[in-house]
Amino acid sequence: MGRFSGKVAVITGGAGEIGKAAAKRFVQEGACVLLVDMNADALAAASAEIQSDKVSHLVADVTSAAGNLAMIEVASERFGGVDIFLANAGIEGEIAPITDCDETLFDQVMAVNVKGPFLGIKAAIPAMIARGGGSIVISSSVAGVRGAASVSPYTTSKHAVIGLMRSAAKDAAPHGIRINTVNPGPVETRMMRSLENALAPGQGNRVKSAMQANIPLGRYATPEEIANVMLFLASDEAAIVTGAVYLADGGMTA
C-alpha cells in the first residue's frame, strides 16, 4: 500500500516542474491531489499528463484569501478533506541591484512568495484539524538562508517564509499539524533558465556552468529529487519533524 493511501494533497504552483513532479510522486503513493495554478492551459496539461483519476485541478490566485479558501473547499468537496498542503507557488522577480528594483515588482514577489503561503496555511489548518492532523511543506530556497546580489525581493521572500514556517509550526503543533520548508539550490526548471539568461543574456550556459562549479555535487537538482524531499516531509516517516529547514542544495550551503 502507498504511504499516502486515503490522503488528500493540495499543491500550489501545480503547473510548474516541481509541482508536477510532486503530484506524480504523491499519486504513486496513493494520494488524491488537487493541483492549483494561475496558468489554466499549463495546469490542465499537467493534470492530463499524470493520467490518474486521483488528480484534479483548480485555477486560483494564491495571493487572495478567496483563492486559498477555494482550493481547500474544492479539495474537500472532490476528495473528502485535506491532509497535505504544499505551498509551492513562487516567482523569481527580476535581476537587478536593489537601487534599480521596482517597488511594484517587489510587492508582487512578496505577495506570491510570502502572502500566498500565509493565506494557504491559514486556510488549510482548520481542514487539517478536522482530519486529526496533517503536514504542510513550504517551498523556500537556498536564497532563504544566504544572500545574493541582484535578487533582493526574491531573497527577502525566501527568508520570510522560513520565519512564517517557524511561527506557524508552533501554532499548529498542538493540533498534530507539522510545518517545514524545503530549500532547493538550483533545479532544472524554467525559473533557472530565466535567471541564467537574465544574469548574462545569451550566455545562460556559461552562467549555469559557473553555478554548477559552486555546487559540491557538481550539478543542479532535478524536480523529482525535490519532490522526493517534499514527499518525505509530508509522510509519517517525518512524524517528529516540524519547524525545520530542509536544504536540498547539493552541498552549496555546507
- The pLDDT tens digits of the residues spanning 117-140 come to 999 999 999 999 999 999 999 999
Q: What percent of the chain stands above pLDDT 70?
A: 100
Q: Is residue 254 part of a domain?
A: no
CA distance 11 to 84: 8
Average pLDDT estimate for 27-45: 97
Query: Burial of 51 by CB count in 10 Å (0-12 exposed, 13-18 middle, 19+ buried)?
Result: exposed
Q: How confident is the model at residue 195 (pLDDT cuts 50, 70, 90)?
A: confident
Q: Determine which of 41-45, 93-97, 122-126 has the lowest per-residue pLDDT on average.
A: 93-97
Q: What pLDDT is attached to residue 241? A: 98
Mark whether 99 and 207 lie in a shared domain.
no
CATH of the domain at 103: 3.40.50.720
Average pLDDT estimate for 177-195: 95
Q: Is the pLDDT of residue 106 over 90?
A: yes
Which is the catalytic residue, given 79, 106, 154, 220?
154
Q: What pLDDT is attached to residue 48? A: 95
Q: Is residue 115 part of a domain?
A: yes
Q: Is the pLDDT of residue 1 over 70?
A: no
Q: What pLDDT is attached to residue 199? A: 86
The domain of 150 spans 8-185+224-248
Q: What pLDDT is attached to residue 200? A: 86
Average pLDDT estimate for 203-218: 94
Q: Is residue 45 part of a domain?
A: yes
Q: Is residue 61 part of a domain?
A: yes
Q: Is residue 1 part of a domain?
A: no
SS3 111: helix
SS3 217: coil
SS3 195: helix
Q: Is residue 152 part of a domain?
A: yes
Mark whether 239 and 127 lie in a shared domain.
yes
Q: Is the pLDDT of residue 97 over 80?
A: yes
Mark whether 167 and 145 lie in a shared domain.
yes
> Whole-number mean pLDDT of the chain?
96
Q: Is the pLDDT of residue 68 over 90?
A: yes
Mark whether 89 and 203 lie in a shared domain.
no
Residues 6 or more apart whose CB falls under 8 angstroms from that of 117 comprise 62, 87, 138, 161, 164
Q: What pLDDT is attached to residue 253? A: 96
As for how many domains the chain has, the answer is 2
Q: What pLDDT is attached to residue 66? A: 98
Mark whether 120 and 216 lie in a shared domain.
no
Q: Is the pLDDT of residue 144 over 70?
A: yes
Average pLDDT estimate for 189-208: 90
Q: What is the pTM of this model?
A: 0.96
Residue 154: active-site member:
yes
